Amino acid sequence: MGTDARRNRKDQERRKDHRKRDRQQSAADHVECWLMTTDRCVYLHITPDTGRVFYVGIGTKRRAFQCSTRNHKWKRVVEKHGKPQVMIIADGLSIDHAVELEKFWIRHHGLHRLANISPGGDGVSGAGHSAETRKKLSLLMKGRDKGKRLSDDHKRKISASCIGRKPSQETREKIRNTLSGRKIPEDVIARMNIRGRVRSESELEKLRQANASKTIHHFKHDEHGDVFSTAYELRKRYNLSDSALSAVIKRKRRIHKGWTINLGHPTTTP
């Protein structure tokens, strides 16, 4: 191996070591910053029917009221007794203080009587990810649930979980700052001005004609014979009921004022 090749290899190894030390230092700074936070709390979950403490938790106040991402023992208790009551024992704690307090309360109530799976202090307790890790997670998650449809039951559960939830003052302030100074396009303003205006009867009639069904149906009548027409035109021409004729078209009613729809011929569009 030549001298230049050895020198290039040493330079590459040196740069690799520098990058590794930078990553380690960044991770250490991130952990130190996380340990210095004082927004943690220790909370209890209590069964609503018996008043028994069945879980001791640590995290933010928001986490204390969340029911997602809980362990299987916790879920079994909630399925039997219902959504738990939450008691905040202490808040504004550092990570170390919160962990020690969590361990104390688990020992106090007894791990065998709780839904906790450990004596405490072994979780990440709300630790955040570095910018590099968040970017990797974002790329990994993109497109994974694209096109996925939720069941009606899942939608109802999401809706029920959001009922009564009010945004905090901090969230409201963020929304206000985001929306302040934003200019609304002229066409949007024009549509907003029209929305509350009372329209005249002539305008309403034009809208009815414009929105009338364009589907041509094959109607039959003993006196008028076979008529190919839209439902709107037939109603106007022979003074028919809107709801009754619609019921005939949808096969919910057999006849209206002698008019039937030909079941042997499908409806057509021009």
- Alpha-carbon span 113 to 118, nearest angstrom: 12
Asked, for residue 217, whether it belongs to a domain, the answer is yes
User: Which of 63, 82, 113 lies at the terminal end of a domain, its last residue?
Assistant: 113
Asked, for residue 16, whether it belongs to a domain, the answer is no
Amino acid type, 31: V
User: Which of 74, 96, 113 lies at the terminal end of a domain, its last residue?
Assistant: 113
Domain count, the chain: 2
Asked, for residue 251, whether it belongs to a domain, the answer is yes
For residue 8 the two structure tokens come to: 């290039």
Inform me whether the pLDDT recorded for 170 exceeds 80.
Answer: yes
Asked, for residue 59, whether it belongs to a domain, the answer is yes
- Alpha-carbon span 15 to 33, nearest angstrom: 27
User: Which of 113, 146, 172 lies at the terminal end of a domain, its last residue?
Assistant: 113
Helix (H) or strand (E) holding 55: strand 53-59
Domain that holds residue 228: 210-261
92-113 pLDDT, tens digit per residue, is 888 888 889 999 999 999 999 9
pLDDT at res. 211: 63
Asked, for residue 85, whether it belongs to a domain, the answer is yes
- Alpha-carbon span 92 to 43, nearest angstrom: 12
Q: What is the pTM of this model?
A: 0.39
**DSSP H helices in 82-196:** 95-109, 131-141, 152-162, 169-179, 186-195
Asked, for residue 198, whether it belongs to a domain, the answer is no
Q: Which of 199, 234, 204 is nearest to 219 (CA)?
A: 234
Weakest mean pLDDT among 6-10, 42-46, 167-171: 6-10
Percent of the chain with pLDDT strictly greater than 70: 80
pLDDT band at 217 (very low <50, low <70, confident <90, very high): confident
Which residue shows structure tokens 């020992």? 107
Asked, for residue 155, whether it belongs to a domain, the answer is no
Asked, for residue 252, whether it belongs to a domain, the answer is yes
